[in-house]
Amino acid sequence: MKYSTAIVGAFALCVSEVVAFPAAAIEYAAKAERDARTNEELESAIASFEKTRRAVGFDAAAHGNDYKVIIKQFEQMFALQPDAATANYDLSVLTPFRADRFQQSVSENPYFFNGAFTGVAVQPAAYTFIYRFMGNKSAEYPEGRLDQETLKSFFSVTGTPGNFKWTEGYEKIPDNWYKRAIGDEYTIPFFLTDLLAAAAQYPKFLSIGGNTGTVNSFTGVDPADLTGGVFNADTLLEGNNAVCYIFQLAEQMAPDVLKGILTDVTRPMDMLTQGITQVLKPYNCPVLQDIDKSQFAQFPGAKGAY
């Protein structure tokens, strides 16, 4: 197995609050791990992903669950491409939508927290996976076209704008739908390209921090204070710094996050650590030995993340 699928597998096994992804697409993605995991583990991966629909169910604290599609939010996303003949929910559409959802949490949830692992490292997949995995590939659209009917099918939504209905458990890979070409897999380096492109457009995506108990009180943690000066805000988007920062923080924070989800974090952490080590090998990253978790004490929504 490639290191990229090892990391995806670890994320699948451990994250219960991050990636917004409907069941049919989850199963498709998880099947890539079939030769690396038992059937029981595969079911666990699917179940973990099914608990998370952040793009149209974000955020859990505001709605009492982290898996149900919220029709109002699906309507907002759907309305971004109103012409059925030309609609394509690609990243030029979904990235600004993600920025709006981020701001919505800041404006409405006093406990919103954008964590290093759950927010900065993994949450972007809630949006990139929608297009990269769901888009229907063809000679005309080698990167995929995600039209209105395909989007509705993957999210198990029927009806028309203003009268949409979500039916739990009826997510479906559409007929005449084609996956990515062999050799054009959505690998971790590919994902990182998307992550960094989004961060260049909206730097707040890399901001670890949150509201401090009231809405619109978002406060970011200074990377230098968090990492003991290993990284700093001024150079974060230079060279490979962002990649090194994101993945090393994810590795540092993951155990605390996982302890609130799993009874035994050993295997997921082994998978995650091995995958991250391989991903970062070409980047000659400065070594981050530890982080100052006391920086998170000001955020009530960070409970359990440090």
**What confidence tens digit (pLDDT) does each residue in 130-189 have?**
999 999 999 999 999 999 999 999 999 999 999 999 999 999 999 999 999 999 999 888
Which tops the pLDDT comparison, 210 or 266?
A: 210
| Alpha-carbon gap, residue 104 to 98, rounded angstroms | 10
Q: Give the CA dihedral 135, 141, 143, 145, nearest 10 degrees.
A: -20
pLDDT at 255: 81
Angle, helices 188-201/125-134, rounded to nearest 10 degrees: 120
242-258 average pLDDT score:
86
Q: To the nearest whole percent, how much of the chain has pLDDT over 90?
A: 58
Average model confidence (pLDDT) for the chain? 82
Q: Which of 26-30, 144-148, 197-201, 243-247 has the lowest mean pLDDT?
A: 26-30
What confidence tens digit (pLDDT) does each residue in 98-130 have?
A: 999 999 999 999 999 998 878 898 889 999 999
Q: Which of 126-135, 247-256, 277-286 has the lowest mean pLDDT?
A: 247-256
Cα-only R_g, the chain: 19
**What pLDDT is recorded for position 31?**
40
DSSP code, position 181:
P
Specify whether domain 3-302 bears CATH 1.10.489: yes
pTM more than 0.85: no
CA nearest neighbour of 47 among 21, 74, 69, 65:
21
pLDDT at 261: 72
Confidence check: pLDDT of 71 > 50: yes
CA atoms within 13 A on the CB side of 107: 6
Between residues 254 and 225, which one has the greater pLDDT? Answer: 225
